[in-house]
Amino acid sequence: MTSLGDFRKDFDILNSGDYVYFDNAATSQRPRQVLDAVSDFYKTSNANPLRGLYDLSMMATEQYENARAVVADFIGASRPEEIIFTRNTTESLNLVAYSYGLENVHEGDDIVITVMEHHSNMLPWQMVAKKCKANLVYMEPTEDGTITKEEYESKITDRAKIVAVGHVSNVMGVTNPIKEIAAFAHSKGAIMVVDGAQSAPHMHVDVRDLGADFFALSGHKMLAPMGIGALYGRYELLEKMQPFLTGGEMIEYVTREDATYAEIPHKFEAGTVNAGDAVGLAQAIKYLKNVGFDTIKEQEEKLTTLLMEGLKKMPYIKVFGSEDPAKHCGIVTFTMEGVHPHDMASVLNDDHVCIRAGHHCAQPLMQFIGAGSTARASVYFYNTEEEVEIFLDKLSKVREVMGYGA
Ligand code: PMP
């Protein structure tokens, strides 16, 4: 059995010993196997996929379509055609908003989201609500980040056409009860959109079991290159939707006046596709499966427990979300009395400790929890207890550096 230490050796940037990288919720690092898979694609199989009638182009097409099948299997889609390759979660959610939302939401309808959403799962719905004269309804969490049954049952009514919720909050780390919310949304006739940017890297996802009609993910948060993401859409819905982008690759036939579109998924993949990075995403999925989500969860919980215990010993630190480290998905958001999060991140940076500081693209949540800005440390399976100790040690000295008593 490969140990976590062995997996860590695959990440050159971590092996350099230069950094304690605790900004995994923003983007993960990539193992050599993923980088090699992308490079091999360009070295051995590169041609414009889906176009050429020659062997090389067909090889590129095959690798690209294989990658689609790997993603479909990874999240439990019933067929590869239900997977659209995009650039990232943001593009996936915009695709749903433009192609499904604008067509199916009407004046007076509700779109229901939570106040915890990343801007990527908020701004597209603000746009749809404005254009369609619909209402944007916000579900609010309890202090520990929970969306209660009472909350979703009171906010999702017969008016709801779309319910869009993040599977895991990128600030609170909480996992939302998607399955229950989806079942309730369906009982009211709404469809369920899930932002899976923070869940797909950390847990086994089964879109059908969840009841997701759409599910968006970003490759770069789960060991794959930047610039490749995916959207799962239920076949029947995708089939009826109009394309989001138009142009080459996505047509059957074009006349001067009109065009007929290709079948799904190609209808939604206009222009030359990002085959190299799709191959990288497939390799990343293979890698994650090899590590195993049980191991990933166990390590993240171990590190988060250590991290939160350490933070508790610093009375000037306030941690947001649940007190239970198991409910953080490796994400710990906090503030330090008297020190701006940007200063905290900057002082830690002097010791090559990388954490996030700011509003985390969730400004309405910041307003809701009464913090203008927060710091966020986020761990992944390749991080170590030793790194948590370094982080805590350096953090405990920040106030001193900033001129406070220790
Ligand atoms: N949703 C959530 C919950 C996220 O954490 C992020 C990334 N921070 C996104 C959406 C957007 O992801 P991307 O920038 O890859 O589109």
Residue 111 CA to residue 177 CA, distance in Å, equals 18
Q: Side chain identity at 54, as an amino acid letter?
A: Y
**Ligand 1 neighbourhood includes 89 CB (under 6 angstroms):** yes
- Residue recorded with tokens 């985390």: 360
Instruction: Return the half-sphere exposure (C-beta side, CA atoms, 13 A cut-off) of residue 251.
Output: 11
The CATH homologous superfamily of the domain defined by 4-22+292-402:
Aspartate Aminotransferase, domain 1 (3.90.1150.10)
Residue 169 CA to residue 393 CA, distance in Å, equals 27
Give the CATH fold of the 34-289 domain: Aspartate Aminotransferase; domain 2 (3.40.640)
Q: How far is the CA of 276 from the centre of ligand 1 (A)?
A: 21
**Ligand 1 neighbourhood includes 299 CB (under 6 angstroms):** no
Which of 24, 27, 87, 90 for mutating ligand 1's site (highest number of atoms within 8 Å of CB)?
90
**Ligand 1 neighbourhood includes 28 CB (under 6 angstroms):** no
Contact between 46 and 276 under an 8 Å Cβ cutoff? The reply is: yes
Q: How far is the CA of 45 from the centre of ligand 1 (A)?
A: 31
Question: Token pair for residue 176?
Answer: 């939302």
> Could you identify the atom of ligand 1 that is nearest to the CA of residue 361?
8
Q: How far is the CA of 200 from the centre of ligand 1 (A)?
A: 11
DSSP secondary structure string for all residues of 197-217: TTTTTTS---HHHHT-SEEEE
Contact between 251 and 51 under an 8 Å Cβ cutoff? The reply is: no
**Digit-coded pLDDT (tens) for 54-100:** 999 999 999 999 999 999 999 999 999 999 999 999 999 999 999 99
**Ligand 1 neighbourhood includes 378 CB (under 6 angstroms):** no
Q: How far is the CA of 89 from the centre of ligand 1 (A)?
A: 6
The pLDDT, as a whole number, for residue 406 is 54
**Digit-coded pLDDT (tens) for 3-43:** 898 999 999 999 988 899 999 999 999 999 999 999 999 99
**Ligand 1 neighbourhood includes 166 CB (under 6 angstroms):** yes
The pLDDT, as a whole number, for residue 78 is 98
Residue 157 clears pLDDT 70, i.e. is over it: yes
Could you tell me whether strands 20-21 and 353-354 are parallel, antiparallel, or unpaired per DSSP bridges? parallel
Which of 117, 122, 198 for mutating ligand 1's site (highest number of atoms within 8 Å of CB)?
198
Rounded to whole angstroms, the maximal C-alpha distance in the chain is 74
* Peptide bond preceding 325 in cis form (omega within 30 of 0): no
Q: In this structure, how many other beta carbons lie within 10 angstroms of the beta carbon of residue 296?
A: 21
Q: How far is the CA of 221 from the centre of ligand 1 (A)?
A: 8
The pLDDT, as a whole number, for residue 249 is 83
Residue 162 clears pLDDT 60, i.e. is over it: yes
Residue 118 clears pLDDT 70, i.e. is over it: yes
Residue 140 CA to residue 148 CA, distance in Å, equals 9
Residue 344 clears pLDDT 60, i.e. is over it: yes
**Digit-coded pLDDT (tens) for 301-341:** 999 999 999 999 999 999 999 999 999 999 999 999 999 99
pTM: 0.97
The pLDDT, as a whole number, for residue 16 is 85
Residue % of the chain over a pLDDT of 90 = 91
Residue 361: active-site member: yes
Domain coordinates of the chain in residue numbers? 4-22+292-402, 34-289
**Ligand 1 neighbourhood includes 281 CB (under 6 angstroms):** no
Residue 184 CA to residue 318 CA, distance in Å, equals 34
Query: If pLDDT is split at 50, 70 and 90, which confidence band does 405 have?
Result: low
Question: Token pair for residue 44?
Answer: 């051995």
Query: If pLDDT is split at 50, 70 and 90, which confidence band does 172 have?
Result: very high
Q: How far is the CA of 145 from the centre of ligand 1 (A)?
A: 18
> Could you identify the atom of ligand 1 that is nearest to the CA of residue 26?
8
State mean pLDDT over 180-188.
98
**Ligand 1 neighbourhood includes 365 CB (under 6 angstroms):** no
